[in-house]
Each structure stands twice: as C-alpha cells, then as structure tokens.
C-alpha cells in the first residue's frame, strides 16, 4: 500500500467575490511555545491512569445513594464532579462573555461519537422506565457534559484539564449507515433548520419573539438565544461521511442485562454483530474501535451477588473495559421523594426537534417529561465518566500516538517527500491493487472514484482519522499540521470533498489554537483556506450544508479574533447571504451577526477613526426591517434600538440625524414597529395613540392606515436597492460609507 506525497500547492480557485484576497504562498505554521515549568507541575498534579493520587469519583458522591461498581480498580482522574456547563476550562478559564461561549459551543460540536448496541432484554428493561428508544435514549443526555475535569495529553506529552468535555451517544445502527445520497439531503436538512427556528419563534411560551426579548441587544458582547439555537442546529445536521471522521464511532457500548439467561453468550453475539454482522461498519469506517461491555443489573428484581459474580467473569473474558451498572427497573414518577428530571439533550438534530417530545408510555401527570431516581442518575453519571476518562480518551491518545509515529512521521520525512514527487511527476509508486481492480482514480491510486472514499486502511484515511482524533482531543497544533499535510494529497487524487474538508479544518484548527496565529501566519492565508473549502464544497460537490457550516465557522472564529479579522468575518457572512444558503429567518440572523462583527471592530489606540459603527448601524437597520417582514416587531424594536445606539456618534445632541432622509427612514421604522406591535397584541391603533403621543395627528393616522398592508419600508440589501451596497462587494476600509448611503436614501 502506497500513498501520495506532498506535491505542489493547489492553484487557488476563482474567487466568489472580489472581497476575498488571493494568496499564492504556502502557509507556514509557527512553533508553539510551551511553558515547561507549568507542564511539569500539571503532570505532577494530574498523572496518568493508575498513578493518580486523587480519590475515585464515588468518594465525592458518598452522600448520595450511588450504586455502581468500578470495572478497573483504578481511580478516576478527578474527584470533583461538575454538572453544569458554566466553565470552559483551560486555557480560556471560563465563559466570561459570549465570545468564549460561542467558542466552547463550536468545540463541543466536534465531540467523540460512541455507538450504543444493547440486547433486547436490556432495551425492554429500560422501556419499563419510560424510555421508548431503550438503553441508548437513557444514557444519551448524560454524555453531553462529562462530570468533573478531564485531563488530556497532547502529542508532546503536555497535560491540560477541560471541564466542558462531552461525548455523543448514538444508535450504532444509524452511525454505521452510508450517507443519504450524494448531497446528504442538502435541501431537506437546511429546510429543517429553518423550520426549527420558525417553531421556536411561534412558541407560546415566549410570545412575540420566541427566545428573544427586548433586552437582548445585539452588540458585540452578546449573542441572541435564537442565533445560538441556529448555530447549534447547523452543527448538529452532520451525519457519518467518508470525508471526515467526526461522526465515526470512536467506541461502542455493548450492553446486556441480568435478566438475560446467558449474558456472556449474548455479549459475544453482540460483538460478532459489530464485527461482521448487521452492525458492521462500512468500508470507509475503521472497524477497530473500542468495545466497552456493560452489565445492567435490575436492582428491584435480581440478586446483586449473582450479578457481581457474572461481572467478574466478564472482566476475565473481555478485559478491563467493563462496567456494572445498577438501575431500578420501576418507573419513576414526580411524586417520588428522590425523583429527578432527566436533562434535555442539547445536541438534538433538526428532525428530532421538529418531531418534539414523545408522549410517555404511561400517563403520570408529568407533562411528557421523564424522571429518574436520584440513585439512577448518579450511577449513570459515574458510568459515563468512567467510560470517557478511563477508556475512550486513553484509547484515542494511544491511536494518535501510533498513527503519528507509523504514518505521519514517515510522510513528513525526506523519503516520503521524494516518493510523493516521484508519484506525481514520474508515475512511480502507484497502488498495484487499485490498478488491478480499476478503482483507483488519482495519483496515489487509493481513492475509490466510483464510491467516493478511501478504504479505512489507506494512509490518506488513517491520517485524516488521526487529525480528527487530535482535533477532538483539542490538540489543534497536531491536527492543523496533519490537515495541511493532506491537502495536496486529496487534490492530486481529485477527492474534492476530502480536499474541502482538509482546508476547512486546517483553518479552524489555526483559529482555535491560542498560539497558532503568529506573525508568520497572516489573515489572508486563513481567508484563502476558507475560500478554497467553499469552492470545493459548493461548486465541485454541490454540498450546501457543509458550505454553510464552513462559512459560519469562519464568521464566528474570525469575529472572536477581533480587529481586522472581525471585518473579514462580516464579509464571510455576506457571502453566505449572497449564495442563497440561508432563508428568511437566517437572513435576519446573519444581518444581526454582520452588525455585531462591525461593532466589535474597536478603534485603534482609543481614537474614533478606524471603527465601523456606521456600518454596524446600517446592518442593524436591515435586520430590523427583515424582522418586520417576518411579523416580529419586538425583535425589530431591539434591532432598531441597537442601531440608534451605534449611530450615536453621528447624531446631534437632540438625538436627530443630520441627514433629513436618514431621520425619515428611522421614523418610518419606528412607526412600523409600533403598528406591528399593536397589531400583534390585537389592540386598536388609533385608540392606543393618545394625544400625548407626538405622532398622534391626522397626517400620521392616514399614514398608519396606508401602511397596514405595506410589505416593507426599506429594501432588502440583497435586492441591489439604492439604500444599501450589495453584500458581495467588499466593504471599504475608510469609514465614509454612511454619508454616501444616506444621501442616496
């Protein structure tokens, strides 16, 4: 088996708009500086499994009736369970503002996936507790935030603790299915995201604005809850795909129960199904993922001594990756003293949110909410932490180290580069297996053109999996260098979706790495990576969901960087609107985001010039008009207030614009917001406008009557109207956009 080497950089594709510069030079990454003293102290404080001086998790939760058995006899890495998501952990030291919260949301969206495969008797036991989907539905909410701090080692042996780490429990059958068509449901998935937003806005719990309120201003330091929902849904639509390994199972939980007459034979049969049976992974998923065996003990009906003996036999047959989970089979009701509501899943897909919460099996006056006994909650949390801290993370660390030593180091050496040049220019070293089968279609011969993937044992697939594992372990320096190594290989093989994914994640790794962007790495290189990724995704692969994901990640991560990067983020948001990837609600949300990007551009050295407050105010007015079209005057009012705050520098002491046309525009928007607000509440407009209102006169009443059926006051910025510049044009660096636009208005 051979692999392509590093070839010449790919020629940049034609730019979508003149706003993104082209750079022909190759990106170089600066060396990451590390504090050896801090690393040594961290290693001493948080040692590896088996040598950690910290007590096990059960000691910290002894005040609760915790019934679980440790499968390893090794203490956990940390003894402080943290149930909340209020902390980011090192290196950002908490979520102090919305920027760090958005960064944490993006990081947690790329979490390891763990498949769940349970025996029929186990699923039946869990269904008696009210969970229709069985064991998978029971443990799914508890994996999204692992209790306590998890210590992860990077490729150079430096340790770092994270308090917001999580995993995704999925049904193993669904995770091993091939992608849904060539475009992976490009139209349906994005339409479902829009439907989720519409459902949230129309929710009766929060009228007139969905999850937005009047005090949710849209400044650079805040992010509206509706936009957080949109971002979370966009990052949740991805399914298992050959071009990236983020949705491939890292491990699988194989579960049986004490009700089973032959539990050991049942576990062997379940393993056989995952190896070469009905749950076998396709050819583009590596089959050697971790198997974790769980024995579910029925606390209400079975004998614990018999289950303990059976658990000891499991450890002798299957190794140390086992766990005894003690649960009560009776269904918990709200009236029980120790009843605890099951937490809601954060990473529900759009289709799951549209289906809504299913009705319980038995009507227990719980409003469709599921409850568990407190002892069951603690047992499941302890099981999830033990699974992740003592099995999944060490397994991923070991795989990254092995692949980095056996595959990546050989590719980075002189011999690997020489073979790469030979394959590209002389045709040497091509795969004989692919030449015989006719499946090869690129320079390496490893890419299967007919099916669009690499086999799991090829170097290209192993390196991509290693890079994704390093990314999920938050070692962004190693992942970024590996993605950079793969870009030319995928281009030589014409594996365009793999090529786009490598460029996308290389840029994301650079932006997430705190020390990744130094003086040698310029912003133009990042823009060029996102440009190439979008071109390959949309033009070559017609993959709209991944294109929108790439653009959204560019907007958020560049905005966090601040300075000129925030202005570049606004241009990428305009690109997403121009390409037609988002619909009505998404257009309004992205207009708010463009305004926030420009507003976050702080002046240089405290002087007034250099800021983009006028542009931010203009896009906030656009967002207000879009919300009025959607019939949400409360949200439009918040956007209008934010625009007036941003325009405060150009207003007079009396709060009036010096341009009469601009003042008329803002007054008309105020009238529209007032009319829409009164109409939404079913109030009479003329009765509510009393004599104390300065707008209460005959002329205003006629104007209100004429505007009841009017569609909009200002034009859509994407309609090439006279008020706004088309968003595909790059914004000028000098801050003179406001006067020109106001005169045309």
**Confidence (pLDDT) at 686:** 56
Whether the pLDDT of residue 43 is over 80: the answer is no
Q: What is the pLDDT of residues 389-410, one digit of tens each?
A: 999 999 999 999 999 999 988 8
Q: Can you tell me the distance from the alpha carbon of 132 to that of 491, in angstroms, rounded to the nearest whole number?
A: 46
Partners of residue 150 on adjacent β-strands: 162
DSSP 3-state of 116? strand
Of 168-182, 239-253, 421-435, give the lowest mean pLDDT range. 421-435
Whether the pLDDT of residue 584 is over 60: the answer is yes
Partners of residue 324 on adjacent β-strands: 69, 295
CB atoms within 10 A of CB 740: 11
| Residues constituting the chain | 745
Of 253-267, 432-446, 713-727, give the lowest mean pLDDT range. 713-727
Q: What share of the chain is helix, strand, coil (3-state, %, to 5)?
A: 50, 10, 45
Tokens describing residue 659? 């341009």
The confidence band for 231, taking pLDDT boundaries of 50, 70 and 90, is very high
302: phi then psi, degrees, rounded to nearest 5: -110, 165
Whether the pLDDT of residue 572 is over 60: the answer is yes
**Confidence (pLDDT) at 527:** 94
Strand 249-257 relative to strand 113-118, pairing:
parallel
Sign, Cα dihedral of 456, 458, 460, 466: positive
Q: Which helix (H) or strand (E) holds 160?
A: strand 159-162
Report the share of the chain in percent with pLDDT over 90: 49
Of 84-88, 129-133, 256-260, 514-518, give the lowest mean pLDDT range. 84-88
Greater model confidence, 699 or 405: 405
- Decide: 158 and 39 in contact? Cβ < 8 Å: yes
Q: Can you tell me the distance from the alpha carbon of 299 to that of 303, in angstroms, rounded to the nearest whole number?
A: 8
The confidence band for 518, taking pLDDT boundaries of 50, 70 and 90, is low
**Confidence (pLDDT) at 118:** 96
What does R_g of the chain's alpha carbons equal in angstroms?
Answer: 28
Q: Can you tell me the distance from the alpha carbon of 302 to that of 161, in angstroms, rounded to the nearest whole number?
A: 39
Q: Can you tell me the distance from the alpha carbon of 47 to that of 70, in angstroms, rounded to the nearest whole number?
A: 19
- Decide: 143 and 389 in contact? Cβ < 8 Å: no
Q: Residue for token digits 């011999």?
A: 415
State the Cα angle at 579 between 574 and 582, rounded to 5°: 80
- Decide: 410 and 468 in contact? Cβ < 8 Å: no
- Cβ burial 719-732 (10 Å sphere, 16+ → b, else e): eeeebbbebbebbe
Mean pLDDT across the chain: 75
Q: What is the mean pLDDT of residues 87-110?
A: 66
Q: What is the mean pLDDT of residues 700-715?
A: 42
Measuring CA to CA, which residue among 537, 535, 476 is closest to residue 509?
476
Whether the pLDDT of residue 603 is over 80: the answer is no
Of 216-225, 501-510, 666-675, give the lowest mean pLDDT range. 216-225
Residue ranges in 10-86 assigned as alpha helix (H): 36-45, 57-60
341: phi then psi, degrees, rounded to nearest 5: -70, 140
This prediction has a pTM of 0.78
Q: Can you tell me the distance from the alpha carbon of 420 to that of 428, in angstroms, rounded to the nearest whole number?
A: 9
Whether the pLDDT of residue 531 is over 90: the answer is yes
Alpha-carbon 434 to chain mean position: 36
- Decide: 621 and 724 in contact? Cβ < 8 Å: no
CB atoms within 10 A of CB 663: 15
- Cβ burial 548-585 (10 Å sphere, 16+ → b, else e): bbbbbbbbbbbbbbbeebbbbbbbbbbbbbbbebbeeb
Most confidently predicted of 52-61, 356-365, 594-603: 594-603
Greater model confidence, 483 or 130: 483
Q: Can you tell me the distance from the alpha carbon of 233 to that of 348, in angstroms, rounded to the nearest whole number?
A: 8
Greater model confidence, 117 or 361: 117
**Confidence (pLDDT) at 99:** 81
DSSP string, 305-330: HHHHHHHHHHHHHH-S-EEEEEE--S
447: phi then psi, degrees, rounded to nearest 5: -85, 125
**Confidence (pLDDT) at 577:** 95
Of 78-92, 298-312, 344-358, 683-697, give the lowest mean pLDDT range. 78-92
Strand 249-257 relative to strand 290-298, pairing:
parallel
Q: At what angle do helices 304-318 and 263-276 cross, to 10 degrees?
A: 40
Greater model confidence, 287 or 46: 287
Query: Looking at residue 241, what DSSP letter applies?
Result: B
**Confidence (pLDDT) at 337:** 76
- Decide: 511 and 558 in contact? Cβ < 8 Å: yes
Greater model confidence, 257 or 655: 257
Q: Give all strands (DSSP E) within 491-636, no chain letters.
A: none
Measuring CA to CA, which residue among 667, 722, 673, 716 is closest to residue 695?
667
Q: What is the mean pLDDT of residues 359-363?
A: 44
State the Cα angle at 577 between 574 and 579, rounded to 5°: 110
Measuring CA to CA, which residue among 441, 564, 436, 542 is closest to residue 492?
441
Give the C-alpha distances (Å, rounded to integers) separating 88 from 106, 107, 162, 381.
12, 10, 7, 19
């Amino acid at each position: 088996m051979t692999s392509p080497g590093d070839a010449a950089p790919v020629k940049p594709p034609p730019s979508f708009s003149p706003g993104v510069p082209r750079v022909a030079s190759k990106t170089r990454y600066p060396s990451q500086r590390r504090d050896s003293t801090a690393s040594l102290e961290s290693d001493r404080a948080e040692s590896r499994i088996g040598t950690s001086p910290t007590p096990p998790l059960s000691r910290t939760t002894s005040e609760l009736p915790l019934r679980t058995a440790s499968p390893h006899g090794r203490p956990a890495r940390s003894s402080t369970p943290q149930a909340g998501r209020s902390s980011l952990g090192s290196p950002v030291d908490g979520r102090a503002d919305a920027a760090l919260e958005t960064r944490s949301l993006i990081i947690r969206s790329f979490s390891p996936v763990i498949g769940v495969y349970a025996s029929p008797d186990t699923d039946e036991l869990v269904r008696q507790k009210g969970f229709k989907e069985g064991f998978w539905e029971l443990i799914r909410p508890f994996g999204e935030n692992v209790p306590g701090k998890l210590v992860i080692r990077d490729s150079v042996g430096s340790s770092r603790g994270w308090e917001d780490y999580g995993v995704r429990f999925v049904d193993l059958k669904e995770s091993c299915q091939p992608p849904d068509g060539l475009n992976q449901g490009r139209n349906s998935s994005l339409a479902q995201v829009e439907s989720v937003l519409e459902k949230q806005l129309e929710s009766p719990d929060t009228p007139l604005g969905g999850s937005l309120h009047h005090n949710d201003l849209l400044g650079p330091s805040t992010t509206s809850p509706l936009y957080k929902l949109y971002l979370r849904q966009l990052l949740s639509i991805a399914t298992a795909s050959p071009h990236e390994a983020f949705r491939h199972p890292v491990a699988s939980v194989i579960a049986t129960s004490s009700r089973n007459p032959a539990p050991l034979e049942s576990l062997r049969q379940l393993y056989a199904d995952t190896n070469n049976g009905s749950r076998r992974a396709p050819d583009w998923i590596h089959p050697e993922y971790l198997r974790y065996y769980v024995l579910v003990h029925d606390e209400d009906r079975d004998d614990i001594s018999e289950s303990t003996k059976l658990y000891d036999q499991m450890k002798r047959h299957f190794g140390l990756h086992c766990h005894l989970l003690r649960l009560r089979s009776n269904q918990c009701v709200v009236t029980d003293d120790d009843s605890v509501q099951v937490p809601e899943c954060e990473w529900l897909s759009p289709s799951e949110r549209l289906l809504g919460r299913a009705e319980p099996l038995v009507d227990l006056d719980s409003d469709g909410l599921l409850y568990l006994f407190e002892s069951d909650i603690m047992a499941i949390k302890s099981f999830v932490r033990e699974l992740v801290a003592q099995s999944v993370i060490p397994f991923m660390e070991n795989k990254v180290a092995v692949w980095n030593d056996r595959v990546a180091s050989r590719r980075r050496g002189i011999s690997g580069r020489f073979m790469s040049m030979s394959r590209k220019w002389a045709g040497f070293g091509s795969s004989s297996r692919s030449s015989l089968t006719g499946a090869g279609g690129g320079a390496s011969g490893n890419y299967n053109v007919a099916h669009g993937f690499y086999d799991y044992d090829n170097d290209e697939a192993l390196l991509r999996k290693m890079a994704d594992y390093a990314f999920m372990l938050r070692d962004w320096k190693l992942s970024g260098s590996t993605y950079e190594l793969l870009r030319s290989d995928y281009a030589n093989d014409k594996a365009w979706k793999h090529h786009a994914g490598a460029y996308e994640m290389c840029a994301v790794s650079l932006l997430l790495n705190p020390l990744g962007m130094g003086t040698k790495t310029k912003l133009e290189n990042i823009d060029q990576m996102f440009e190439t990724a979008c071109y390959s995704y949309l033009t070559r692969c017609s993959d709209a969901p991944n294109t929108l994901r790439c653009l959204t990640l560019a907007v958020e991560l560049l905005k966090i960087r601040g300075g000129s990067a925030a202005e570049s983020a606004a241009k990428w948001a305009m690109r997403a609107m121009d390409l037609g990837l988002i619909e009505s609600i998404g257009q309004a949300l992205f207009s708010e985001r463009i305004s926030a990007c420009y507003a976050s551009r702080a002046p240089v050295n405290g002087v007034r010039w250099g800021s983009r407050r006028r542009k931010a105010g203009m896009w906030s007015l656009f967002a207000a008009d879009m919300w009025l079209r959607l019939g949400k005057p409360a949200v439009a009012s918040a956007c209008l207030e934010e625009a007036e705050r941003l325009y405060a520098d150009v207003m007079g002491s009396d709060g009036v614009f010096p341009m009469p046309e601009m003042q008329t525009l803002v007054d008309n928007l105020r009238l529209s917001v007032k009319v829409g607000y009164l109409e939404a509440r079913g109030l009479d407009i003329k009765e509510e406008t009393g004599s104390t209102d300065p707008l209460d006169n005959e002329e205003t009443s006629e104007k209100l009557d004429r505007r009841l059926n009017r569609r909009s006051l200002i034009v859509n910025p994407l309609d090439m109207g006279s008020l706004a510049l088309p968003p595909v044009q790059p914004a000028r660096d000098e801050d003179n956009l406001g006067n020109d636009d106001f005169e045309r208005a």
